[in-house]
Structure 1
Amino acid sequence: MKQQRQHEPGYVLGGRYRICRLIGRGGMSRVYMAEDLKLTGKIWAVKETVADRELMGAWRAEAELLSALNHPRLPRIVDFFDFSNEGNVYLVMDYIGGMTLEAYMQNNGGIVEGGKVVSFALQLLDVLDYLHSHKPSIIYRDLKPSNIMITPGLELKLIDFGTARNYSTGSSQDTVKLGTVGFAAPEQYGGGQTDARSDLYGLGALMLYLCTDGRQSEWTPGVEEVIRSGLPRDLARVIRRLLKIDPGERYQTAREVIHELRLLSVPPADRPVPAVEAKYSGTRVIALLGVSPGCGVTHTAIAISHYLSRQGGRVAVAELNGRSQSFSRIQTLLEGEERARAEGTKRFSFEGVQYCRQMSPEDIIPLLSGGFDFIVFDLGSGGNHERLEEFLRADYPLIVGSGAEWRLPDTVMFASALARYPQQKWSFCLPLATSEAVRRLGKDLGTGKVYTLPLHLDPFEPCEEMDTVLQALFKDALPGPRRKKPLFASLRRQ
């Protein structure tokens, strides 16, 4: 295959994407970090693939496949194009800060703690279950360390779909045999068709690789002797079944494996992954989801937005609960009813924060491409599938529950209903809760990320007690200078 020369920093692709640096390469492609010249400050990952005629169909298939998917552990596709004069095609997607699982192992001497092995497996099973439940089912087929990104918050994301395929019920075997030796299921190189169980074999190979410090990915005689001690009890049994040669002897679905792993006694995963970049690139998303109506989601979302704006951030707050009229009332108060209706816009600004009222799912991608440092999503309470997806995808998912003593079980039940999803980066906010209520809820949920929100009558104005809580919640966000702002209360009195 003809290889094109590597683009140097500063080179502009498609008149829009300026190369910052090379961040990865494979046999047929390179991945660059690139700055968006139209959306100031926005950083993307751009995958470049050599466009030989026979590969063009596969490249377009990958672009179309990813564009149709929506899951927090998959990159969001925003653009794709080709240059016939260069012989390359390009896929523009979310830039994911962090490092590959392969690099993480290298940086840690090949050792991944037992608690992290299970945590990582559960995260991968979550996205595999999503892919396998797709209509038609999508089989990933190349679950290996170099295809998995790990963020500073210990979140895993799949980054390469070059070998994925739709499962065909009318076919007895794959047309093309693809996958990485050592991690691919035997049927990927035999006469059978790959299905969901092939990905489960790949997961088992990956787990064994993690449990043997990178020495083994196949269940061969004597492999038990190189499995590291101190792992969760019965983990080896689960891995052994995943690696059965006969697909019929493996677990049959990702949900079966999720159930098995949740029964294990798991030591906590410890140190977070060090950030690769000294400065966070891109937009951070904060999503607030209420346990029940009236628990203060909108009030808290507004308070967070104006706090981050006072720190120097470019902030948008978006209302994804279509039934809410809160932002409409704010716009009417600011601009007057006649002007608000006449302009007919869903966006308005106040105190440096852009408000986006009654947003639809189709509005989300343009908003994410708007060059903001922070986007705060007000998801309302409960949440349908689309709102839940945005909550799970967020960098800061916040559950807002009632601070009343007698309603604490509501928050516990709410978290339990979402137990299949990894919750290590979730935070729980309880307006006006006592310190005892916070302590008890943290114990019931098994987390230290429970916060009481103090009395804050006007969320548009600074509040010292509230700022202290928000500083703790967003302590890894970029600090900035505080700017004195006019008071919303004075505008209301006019």
Structure 2
Amino acid sequence: MPGVKVHPSCTESETFVGMDPSGRYGRYKELLGSGSVKRVYRAFDKQEGIEVAWNQVKLNNFIDDPIMLHRLHSEVILLRDLSHDHIIKLSAFWNDDVTHTLNFITQVCSSGSLREYRKRHKHVSMKAIKKWCKQILQGLDYLHSHHPCIIHRDLNCSNVFINGNTGQVKIGDLGLAAIVGRSHSAHSVLGTPEFMAPELYSENYTEKVDIYSFGMCVLEMVTREIPYCECESVVKIYKKVTSGVRPESLNKIKNSEVKSFIDKCIAHHPNARPSAAQLLKDPFFHDLL
């Protein structure tokens, strides 16, 4: 009406820069994160009235790489069929033939990755870290006991996400995960060097590689240092890992209980490492009961 002033806050609204084919999800311009494979945008689920993550992969980048295309689609297929409190949930996915992108909608964790969160918060009790560890192990136990078994293969603190207001953590980025049969063995070299178990390099391994990576995650959570940060190259990391030389940051841990727990997880031989189910029963977690 003429002469009626509308408060600015009443006209301010964010505009979607994209919609999914069903019209349920709207994508905002804000980028939540990006990596070598995908970009993640903030989005909104109009049906549920909640914020979500819109993951977008430019398929043109991998048109001549069928192996990478398979990995990308594997993440979507895996997530679609998984349901666990500590695994990022996928709710929709589709290919956009016009923009040549693979798009999928997942849960969003309000505080980002555990690595980012730990960098922001220096003063965290051991009890809080144990709670995070237990949740990660519950997620791993779910993956490893899944039929068929699922090996994450790239577990690290940048692939674990947290809701800071609840302390709930969730394992994400399953793009390098492998579905294995009864043998529980896989045969390709994949992962993040600082977190890769020695047997990964020999191309013959089981889900115990995730236990090794989990141990390195615990080390990073406690020290706030990425394992093997003393190494100047991937080659040097490889030499240390395969020869059984531990990260220097392990020596900074004075708590014998914590150091012993990490030692179990990063044992050089996979048979010496406990399973996720066994670790959940470890005395390390007794004070959480």
TM-score range, shorter chain: 0.7 to 0.9
Select 2:18's aligned residue among 7, 12, 15: 12
Could you tell which deviates more after superposition, 132-141 or 212-221? Answer: 212-221
Corresponding residue to 2:261 among 216, 219, 238:
238
Task: Select 1:122's aligned residue among 126, 134, 138.
Answer: 134
1:225 is the counterpart of 2:251: yes
Change (3 A) 1:71 1:18: same
The CA distance in 2 between the partners of 1:42 and 1:172, in whole Å, is 39
CA deviation profile, 1:164-196 (whole Å, cap 9, x unmatched): 11123458641x321111112122222313x22
8 Å contact from structure 1 (residues 100, 150) kept in 2: yes
Letter of the 1:178 counterpart: L
After TM superposition, list the pairs within 5 Å mapping 1:85-484 onto structure 2. Answer: 85-109=98-122, 112-151=124-163, 152-169=165-182, 173-174=186-187, 176-193=188-205, 195-216=206-227, 220=246, 223-227=249-253, 229=254, 231=255, 233-251=256-274, 253-262=275-284
Please give the per-residue CA displacement for 1:32-62, whole angstroms capped at 9, x wherever unaligned: 111245x273432111112133233222222
- CA deviation digits over 1:427-484, x for unaligned, max 9? xxxxxxxxxxxxxxxxxxxxxxxxxxxxxxxxxxxxxxxxxxxxxxxxxxxxxxxxxx
* Partner in structure 2 of residue 439 of structure 1: none
Local SS of the residue matching 2:92: strand
Unmatched segments (≥5 aa) in structure 2: 1-13, 229-240
User: Which ranges of structure 1 fall in alignment gaps of 5 or more residues?
Assistant: 1-7, 267-418, 420-494
Q: Which residue of 2 aligns with 1:81?
A: 94
Deviation at 1:80, TM superposition (A): 0.7
C-alpha contact 1:112 1:210 (8 A) present in aligned 2? no
Q: Could you list the per-position Cα deviations for residues 105-142 of structure 1 after superposition, in whole angstroms to 9, with x for gaps in the alignment?
A: 22124x54322221111111111111111101111112
Deviations 1:189-223 (A, max 9, x none): 22313x22111101111111122221536762755
Distance (Å, rounded) in 2 between the aligned partners of 1:26 and 1:261: 37
Q: Which residue of 1 aligns with 2:234?
A: none
One-letter identity of the residue aligned with 2:110: G
Identity %: 25
Deviation at 1:254, TM superposition (A): 0.9
1:43 corresponds in structure 2 to 51
2:53 alignment partner AA: A
Q: How many Å separate the matches in 2 of 1:14 and 1:263?
A: 43
1:102 is displaced (CA, Å) by 1.2
Residue deviations 1:244-286 (CA, integer Å, cap 9, x gap)? 12111211x11211111445557xxxxxxxxxxxxxxxxxxxx
Paired with 1:79 and 1:172, the residues of 2 have a C-alpha distance of 30
Which protein is bigger by CA-based radius of gyration?
1
TM-score (norm 2): 0.78
TM-score, normalization: structure 1? 0.47
Which AA in structure 1 matches 2:49? G
Alpha carbons 1:150, 1:157 under 8 Å: kept = yes
